[in-house]
Chains A and B, each alone.
Chain A
Amino acid sequence: MKIFAAVILFSLATIGFFTWFSNFGIPQVTPAPPPKEEVLDLGAMTMDQFAALGERIFNGRGTCKLCHNPVGGRAPLLDKIGEVVPTRLNAENYKGKASDVESYLYESMVDSSAYVVAGFGKAGTNDTVSPMPNVTGGSIKLSDAEIKSVIAYLQKSNGLEITVEIPKDAEAAPETDEAGPREPFATVEDMFTEFACVGCHKLGVGEEEGDIGPDLRQIGTLRDRDYLRRSLLDPNADIAKGFEPDAMPPDYGQQLYAVELEMIVDHLAGLK
């Protein structure tokens, strides 16, 4: 019996040690909760919900906010559509086929060069080519239903009558957030383009790079890795001299995987 007790005690102590180590020997990270499941059930949606979906797309996956914001000045603001659109449609240099606000907005998203707002064209094209991407393609890939929801949002936020109809066909795909996590990017260059860093920073990877944010081509001489990581995770923690706070998107911490974040930090730290 004594042996039995000794063996039991020994085993319990072993288990106790493993338990202790797992609870206190390593940091207890609470894993992120499962992502919210947003199924686009268009049939059951009210117009308000549809417009709210459009707003989320505008601020999020559609990347519209990246350019159309008051800080950067990269693109015209979309807050006076009701006044502006009729003048666009009548303008001489209008090459599109739109006839009303709804069709103009639609056209702007899929064929933005049909009309280029003065002063916003691609450099050197004399305002004939728009820098705005076709939002049905590339990495944005909005579906028809999603484009319509953005139109609903723009009409609503401009105080206009909402003219789009909620598509009824089942083909309207669920919001792709839900399609599971994306694959991580393999190179820093891809990320700089995909996450639109080059839209605001000079990084030496493309031909046209923006100057809304500081030139980063030699950032490694100025900043260390901790600083760089922080400026991505929490851009307002330190504001670069001569720039305004709140300009750089604050949510890269959510968008980037940590490997990616580290690749970027490594890369920036090496730019000397």
Chain B
Amino acid sequence: MTPRRAFRLLGTLLLLAFIFCLVPPDGTGTGSGAALAQQSADAQTAATGIAAPKLTAEDYPTIAGVNARVVVWLAAQLHLWFAAFVLAVPIFVFIIEAIGMWSRDRRYDDMAYEFIKISIAAYSLTAVLGGLLVFSLIVFYPHLTQYLGAIFKETMFYYALLFFVESAALYLYYYGWHWLQGGFRKWVHLTIGLLLNAAGTTLMFLANGWLTFMMSPAGIDPSGAFTGDVWTALHNHLWNPINIHRMVANVAYGGSIVGAYAAFKFLSASGAKEKAHYDWMGYTANFIAICALLPLPFAGYYLAAEIYAYSQQMGITLMGGIFAWLFIIQAVLIGTLFLSANYYLWCGMARSEGAARYYPYIKYIAVVLIGAFLVWFTPHTLVLTNEELKALGGPYHKYLGPLGIMPAKNTAVNVMILFTALSFLLYRRANRVVTVPWEKAGNAVQVALFSAGIVNIFFLGIYHGYFTNTVYKVASSIPQVITTLVVIAVSILIDAMMYRGAKEVAPLRWGRVPDRAQYALFLLAVAFTWLMGLMGYIRSGIRQHWHVVGVFRDNSPDAFTPTLGYAANVVSVGTMIFMAMVIFVFWLSQISGVKREPDGYWKEQRA
């Protein structure tokens, strides 16, 4: 994308942001008299003036033939996908650049530049989609927008400000890449990268505050009137859990999209050198994605636990009811992610002849992964309303009831993560042999470590799952997670020491990897996108018929919770739109590098 076009889009967005800033103080004028009258009446009783409006179905503007909820839903989701991507890429570009500076390996710098080049085209699209979201909120949910705008007006101002900072930093970072090279200049460049990330992350945190306020409102009195303390409203109960979860997920997501980009480039590359480059790029992106994927389930449990802590009722809505089935879909997707990530690693072992030594183990890892996946896949104990219960004939899975409870699932997830780490260890070893004298001992310790870890995870899971009597059997998850993390950390440490100064048996040959491995990368990217969409649905869905839980009721005709199938269809449509846009963006970044000389077109050529 050319800078000019980018700036034009930017301008559009700022205009929209400006309109948005104007909205809160003077109302949108589209609401019905009743709602506004109600509001001014409330304003007289509540000293601060910002009370939650009570709306009726008539207060929601409609446009014939347009489903308001779906429009806002898609706009929000598309904005989020792009935002996740453009927030994450600078994070790992920064890291890769730093690695390049430290190791003085030029390849890292080139790759970092290529990554940021991909994200810059997506950046303006993110902004445009953000504008579209705000716009559709104003059109379809004016009172809600106004209410949130009034409460969060300060943060929205800083949001706009930060957006300037981020844009400036991004353009400097990108366009100045080759200009700011070497010595002190490189440090300046890296600092700009840091600034870019700081601004981007803060932006996301602000926006997270707005949406977690809707889930776990704070800073309001029992009648729903805002008490005037923005910080309390922002720093509500679910703010940090969502911040952490999104941050980690974004990095994994960004990695997976860049991985898909590299995979496509790999498949269409002609020369061996080009293939090698994109193979390496795909591997690195996938590596980043996996590193972020491993802690993600834990961030998810933390979030779920905090939701329980905030409101048991919301927790039950989340883990029970129809949403319980959503976690079955989620299990399928996460299983897909783990299996394709592992598959990619296994295929990647073909890069070195030395890997043949480890092939026999792979099938066992595969069996364990699939087994763990199946346990995870087993439905939860379902907490339904009894109408739903009657329709389903009971809350437990017909055959696998005992495996459907949380501790069994926690156990399965931890085992899955451990075995993915194991795949990675094997991959690392593929092309090398140990030279340290304590090889046997080292291996034995690692085997012992993994076995002890697995035994401990099973023990915790079984003990808490079947021999304690807590209503929500989640007590096992924390020690299990700690076990997993310790095993991974310690075994990687031992491995690193063991393989210090190791001999290469057969070199890693980048580019020598089967084409089907690339499809694993596509699968990863598609599954990730879809999964994010699905989780967006539940995050928003657990608010049920509330705009702001317990405070501001959603009385629009769309206040009902749609079925999972319907939600999945919306997510699928969104994913396809997103894919089309991403392809467009990638294509743009490609043609910007193409220069064609037409024949006899210009005057000078004719002469």
Interface residues, chain A, CB within 8 Å of chain B? 3-4, 7, 10-12, 14-16, 18-19, 21-35, 37, 39, 180-181, 183-184, 186, 226, 229, 233, 253-254, 256-259, 261-262
Contacts and interface: CB of A to CB of B under 8 A. Distances in A.
B264 A19 contact: no
B395 interface: yes
A26 B328 contact: yes
The 9 closest A-B pairs by CB, nearest first: A22-B568, A34-B545, A253-B386, A23-B565, A31-B561, A19-B572, A14-B526, A29-B322, A26-B325
Taking each of A34, A39, A258, which has the highest tally of chain B beta carbons within 10 Å of its own beta carbon?
A258
A186 B325 contact: no
Nearest to A263: B471
A29 B391 contact: yes
B203 to A, nearest CB: 30
B313 A32 contact: no
B560 interface: yes
Contacts of A12: 576
Contacts of A7: 264, 267, 519, 522
B429 to A, nearest CB: 31
B307 to A, nearest CB: 15
A14 to B, nearest CB: 5
Nearest to A26: B325
Taking each of A18, A32, A254, which has the highest tally of chain B beta carbons within 10 Å of its own beta carbon?
A18
A35 B544 CA distance: 10
A180 B550 contact: yes
A184 B316 contact: yes
A206 B331 CA distance: 45
B83 interface: no
A169 B568 CA distance: 48
11 contacts: A10-B519, A14-B522, A15-B526, A25-B329, A27-B391, A28-B565, A31-B560, A34-B559, A37-B555, A253-B389, A259-B471
Given A10-B523, A27-B391, 14 more contacts: A7-B267, A7-B519, A11-B522, A15-B530, A15-B572, A18-B329, A22-B565, A26-B564, A29-B322, A32-B387, A34-B544, A183-B312, A184-B316, A258-B386
B269 to A, nearest CB: 10
A31 B322 contact: yes
B540 to A, nearest CB: 14
Contact of A26 (B268, B329, B519): B329
A11 B521 CA distance: 11
A24 B332 CA distance: 14
Given A10-B519, A11-B522, A258-B385, A29 B563 contact: yes
Contacts of B381: 262
Contacts of B392: 27, 29
A154 B432 CA distance: 89
Contacts of A14: 522-523, 526-527, 530
A14 B337 CA distance: 12
B550 A3 contact: no
Contacts of A186: 471
Given A18-B530, A35-B545, A3 B569 contact: no
Nearest to B384: A258
Contact of B321 (A3, A31, A33, A183): A31
Contact of A258 (B332, B382, B526, B562): B382
A26 B553 CA distance: 30
Contacts of A229: 394
A19 B569 contact: yes
A3 B267 contact: yes
B329 A21 contact: yes
Contacts of B519: 7, 10
A23 B322 contact: no
B561 A258 contact: no
A27 B395 CA distance: 13
B504 interface: no
B545 A19 contact: no
Contact of A32 (B325, B383, B388, B555): B388
Taking each of B523, B565, B568, which has the highest tally of chain A beta carbons within 10 Å of its own beta carbon?
B565
A10 B569 CA distance: 18
A233 B390 contact: yes
A27 B264 CA distance: 37
Contact of B563 (A19, A28, A233): A28
B374 to A, nearest CB: 14
B333 interface: yes
B208 interface: no
Taking each of A7, A30, A31, A184, which has the highest tally of chain B beta carbons within 10 Å of its own beta carbon?
A31
B575 interface: yes
Given A14-B523, A33-B560, A259 B322 contact: no
A15 B264 contact: no
Nearest to B323: A31
Contacts of A184: 312, 316
Given A18-B568, A22-B329, A254 B386 contact: yes
Given A15-B575, A31-B561, A253 B384 contact: no
A253 B333 contact: no
Interface in B329-380: 329, 332-333
Nearest to B572: A19
B572 A32 contact: no
A261 B384 CA distance: 10
Nearest to A252: B386
A5 to B, nearest CB: 11
Nearest to A23: B565
B320 A258 contact: yes
A23 to B, nearest CB: 4
B262 to A, nearest CB: 12
A25 B527 CA distance: 17
B579 interface: yes
Contact of A257 (B267, B383, B527): B383
Contacts of A31: 321-322, 388, 560-563
B383 A258 contact: yes
A258 B387 contact: no
Nearest to A251: B386
B322 A19 contact: no
A226 B389 CA distance: 12
Interface string B264-279: 1001100000000000
Interface in B471-522: 471, 519, 522
A15 B569 CA distance: 10
A256 B554 CA distance: 25
Contacts of B320: 258-259
Contacts of A34: 544-545, 554, 559-560
A23 B561 CA distance: 16
B385 A32 contact: yes
Contacts of B389: 233, 253, 258, 261
Interface in B554-607: 554-555, 559-565, 567-569, 572, 575-576, 579
B571 to A, nearest CB: 8
